Amino acid sequence: MKASRIIVICALCAAAVVMAVFCVKSVTTPIKFENTRAEREVAVIKNLVDLRTAEVEFHHQHGRFTASHDTLLMFLKTAPKKEVLKEGSLTDKQLEAGLTEPKAIKILNDAKKRALKKNSFEDNDALYAFIWENDAEVKKNELQGFRRDTIELNMLQALYKGQFDENSINSIVEIPFSDGMKFEIEVNNDYKTSQGIRVPLFEARAPFESYLGDLNKQELVNLRDREQKLEHYPGLKVGDIYAPNNNAGNWE
């Protein structure tokens, strides 16, 4: 009888230990999942932001977005980034007289053409110095010191300030922690507003499964179910192909 009681007590103690372990896991597993999710999403969001930067520049130069990872990467590696260097600005007096930025640039460009027909210059600095001093139209409109030059920059340097080279830039189309999966990209270049204005749209997505797939399966299912019940995209994304949202991320 005594032995039976000892066995029962031992069984109860073992059951208590098992229950305690389950209770601890029920608390620690979600916490660990959320902590890991937060850490990983920092890297996923960075790539999405870099990808958005590339798409916005592509749209700026081509008037549309692209759903092709290869096209986007080739654009970043080979296309120049045009930038206008500005020196000087129009005064209130000039603006009130009807002088606008485009008109001022045209006056300068015409002056440069006239100067280059008769003279040669060591560089643009010398050219501008000459027309500021000698061109009647430039002086009449008081454009001395006003200068606008379009230059071509390296695309990767202009957009990312040295973060990437031609090899490492490939990483922006890949979802971190996904074993090489690429962001899902969709475009809607024919979207029109209620006023009939064409507004090209794009969307880049990383579903939860892509970067959290190796974590606790039940926690992943719970997370996905919560987001779907709230009618949220189950993952991270930028842009929207159904309505303009200024290419915002769903974490912003």
| In the block, residue with structure tokens 């990767």 | 156
Residue 68 has pLDDT above 80, yes or no: yes
| Strands lying side by side in the sheet with 201-207 | 184-188, 201-207, 235-239
Query: pLDDT tens digits for 107-142?
Result: 999 999 999 999 999 999 999 999 999 999 999 999
Residue 21 has pLDDT above 50, yes or no: no
Residue 250 has pLDDT above 60, yes or no: yes
User: Quick one: pLDDT at residue 70?
Assistant: 98
Mean pLDDT of the region 23-52 = 88
Which contacts of 6-9 are long-range, i.e. CB under 8 A and separated by 24 or more positions?
Answer: none
Angle of helix 2-62 relative to helix 217-229, nearest 10 degrees, comes to: 50
Residue 25 has pLDDT above 60, yes or no: no
User: Quick one: pLDDT at residue 29?
Assistant: 84
Across the chain, mean pLDDT equals: 91
User: Quick one: pLDDT at residue 28?
Assistant: 72
- Rounded distance between C-alpha atoms, residue 79 and residue 217, angstroms: 43
The pTM of this model reads 0.79
User: Quick one: pLDDT at residue 16?
Assistant: 53
Residue 9 has pLDDT above 70, yes or no: no
Residue 44 has pLDDT above 90, yes or no: yes
Output 189 or 16, whichever has higher pLDDT. Answer: 189
Query: pLDDT tens digits for 205-245?
Result: 999 999 999 999 999 999 999 999 999 999 999 999 999 99
Count the Cβ atoms, other than its own, within 10 Å of residue 235: 21
Torsion from C-alpha of 160, 162, 163, 166, nearest 10 degrees: 90
